Amino acid sequence: MPKIVKFSSLHDDLQIPMIAHEHGVGEYKNAKFEQFNFTEKSVLERISQFGIDLVQLRDSGIDLKCITREQYRELMEHAIQAKYDVIFGSVVDKFIMSGFGDPTSETERLCDVMRMADEYRHWGLQIVQCGSDIAKSRTNLVVALEGADFVTELADLDKLMAKGIICFGLQYNKDNRLSTKSDGLTELGRQAVRKLLLADKLVDLAHTTRLARGNILDIAEDLGCGQQVAYTHGSTTDDAAEEYRAIMECNERLLDEGEARRIVRLGGIIGIGISKPFFDSTQAVAERIDKICQLENGVQSVALGSDFGGIFDEQSCGISSVGDLNRLADALAGQFHLPEETITRILRHNVRDWLQRTIKPLCFIPDGKLWD
């Protein structure tokens, strides 16, 4: 089939490489999460996943070790504009990751995440607040929160929404004030989900535990908001790469088949990961996409959640960068005989179409003006 020129993705860590570089964080070596020394290999090298040629970069006189935030912004903006139609860019509490030290307060963490959201204002991308915002001539960016360990009250969500965040992942593989593994959503968590859904925001199930996922889907279905639920990046329990399977089972990171079917039935969307720990081959990625397509309304409910910027070399299973994504298109066409139109929908148009039918025009901004 003809090569797809632009893609869409429900989850990518666009800022993590630069933030890690600024904090001197070394890249991971292996599945045990042992790290290189920062001087040997920095997380910054992950920018190659977005189609940036590191050799060409060095030949042009840009030293990765001395790269400025302005240079990084320009490189990423150019790469993303060239290869993406719609992309979900994460904002994340960096203190949940190793190598970033300890925060002094929850307020510091909240402010740090809001600064990340502000950074996207300078990237030259179309920031999406509702379906009608989506542009045809520019790359569209959805600002998405990954993990809310710092949220202590509902007013914190107002502050995040006022920064343009419209997709909310409430948990990152561990207990917080919104959700626990043993009990699912707390009372504050239930209030938060209702608040977000009624404000026409998106709720992300990735990194939430099984009980919490069920609670969120229950609330969304009761409110008639099932289409606002996404599982932005991952796979099912049947798909996990062998060396990661025990970790995935322990933290309940992956969907079971019933959860996947329910998300599709409610009109939500599933972002399929393209690397370990979610899969161990491009063939397995294509097989899972094909299985979802066989469900009623499945074709419109599946997309990519590539997680570029958040994965390291050892996790590649055949797709190391956006430039490799046509290998997946070839597998879907050659081995699973999906038509070209369907493949293009999955790899590009489904995210756009889902946002346009799901997110209503913004009626108000909590606690003040957007970007205040």
HEC per residue, 215-252: HHHHHHHHHCCHHHEEEEEECECCCCCHHHHHHHHHHC
**Does the pLDDT value for residue 264 go beyond 60?**
yes
Count other Cβ atoms within 10 Å, centred on residue 98: 11
Give me the chain's average pLDDT, please. Answer: 93
Collapsing DSSP to helix, strand or coil, 88 comes out as strand
- Chain segment 19-43, per-residue pLDDT in tens: 999 988 889 888 777 888 887 888 9
Total count of domains within the chain: 1
- Chain segment 290-307, per-residue pLDDT in tens: 999 999 999 999 999 999
pLDDT grade for 65, boundaries at 50, 70 and 90: confident
| Cα end-to-end span (Å), the chain | 46
Instruction: Tell me whether residue 33 is in a domain.
Output: no
Predicted confidence at residue 364, as pLDDT, reads: 42
**Poorest-confidence range of 32-46, 108-122, 129-143, 219-233?**
32-46
pLDDT grade for 100, boundaries at 50, 70 and 90: confident
250: burial class by Cβ within 10 Å (0-12, 13-18, 19+)? exposed
Instruction: Tell me whether residue 30 is in a domain.
Output: no
Q: Span 100-105, mean pLDDT?
A: 82
Range(s) of the domain holding residue 349:
7-15+83-358
Residue, of 39 and 264, whose pLDDT is higher: 264
CATH of the domain at 177: 3.20.20.140
Predicted confidence at residue 50, as pLDDT, reads: 98
Collapsing DSSP to helix, strand or coil, 279 comes out as coil
Q: 187-198 and 210-223 helices cross at what angle (nearest 10)?
A: 40
330-337: list long-range contacts, CB under 8 Å, 24+ apart.
330/1, 331/282, 331/283, 331/285, 331/286, 332/286, 332/289, 332/290, 333/1, 335/283, 335/286, 336/286, 336/287, 336/289, 336/290
Instruction: Tell me whether residue 63 is in a domain.
Output: no
pLDDT grade for 95, boundaries at 50, 70 and 90: confident
Q: Span 164-184, mean pLDDT?
A: 96
- Chain segment 207-216, per-residue pLDDT in tens: 999 999 999 9
Q: Span 130-141, mean pLDDT?
A: 93
Q: Span 184-194, mean pLDDT?
A: 98
364 CB-near residues (< 8 Å, 6+ apart): none
Instruction: Tell me whether residue 349 is in a domain.
Output: yes
Count other Cβ atoms within 10 Å, centred on residue 288: 20
Q: Span 238-261, mean pLDDT?
A: 92
Instruction: Tell me whether residue 1 is in a domain.
Output: no
Task: Give CA–CA dist 291/142, Å, rounded.
Answer: 27
Strands 7-12 vs 84-92: parallel, antiparallel or unpaired? parallel
**Poorest-confidence range of 10-24, 160-174, 241-255?**
241-255
Torsion-angle region of 227 (φ positive above 0: left; ψ -120 to 50: alpha; else: beta): alpha
pLDDT grade for 372, boundaries at 50, 70 and 90: very low
Predicted confidence at residue 96, as pLDDT, reads: 83
The string of DSSP codes covering 45-72 is GGGGGGT--HHHHHHTT--GGG--HHHH
Question: Residue 233 carries which side chain, given as an amino acid letter?
Answer: H
Percent of the chain with pLDDT over 90: 81
pLDDT grade for 179, boundaries at 50, 70 and 90: very high
Torsion-angle region of 151 (φ positive above 0: left; ψ -120 to 50: alpha; else: beta): beta
**Does the pLDDT value for residue 75 go beyond 80?**
yes
pLDDT grade for 89, boundaries at 50, 70 and 90: very high
Contact present, 231 and 206 (Cβ < 8 Å): yes
**Does the pLDDT value for residue 234 go beyond 60?**
yes
* Per-residue DSSP letter, 20: H
Task: Give CA–CA dist 230/264, Å, rounded.
Answer: 10
Contact present, 181 and 211 (Cβ < 8 Å): yes
Instruction: Tell me whether residue 60 is in a domain.
Output: no
Most confident listed range (11-20, 27-36, 53-62):
11-20
Residue, of 348 and 136, whose pLDDT is higher: 348
Q: Span 353-362, mean pLDDT?
A: 88
Instruction: Tell me whether residue 193 is in a domain.
Output: yes
Strands 184-185 vs 179-180: parallel, antiparallel or unpaired? antiparallel
- Chain segment 321-336, per-residue pLDDT in tens: 999 999 999 999 999 9
Predicted confidence at residue 362, as pLDDT, reads: 57
Predicted confidence at residue 87, as pLDDT, reads: 98
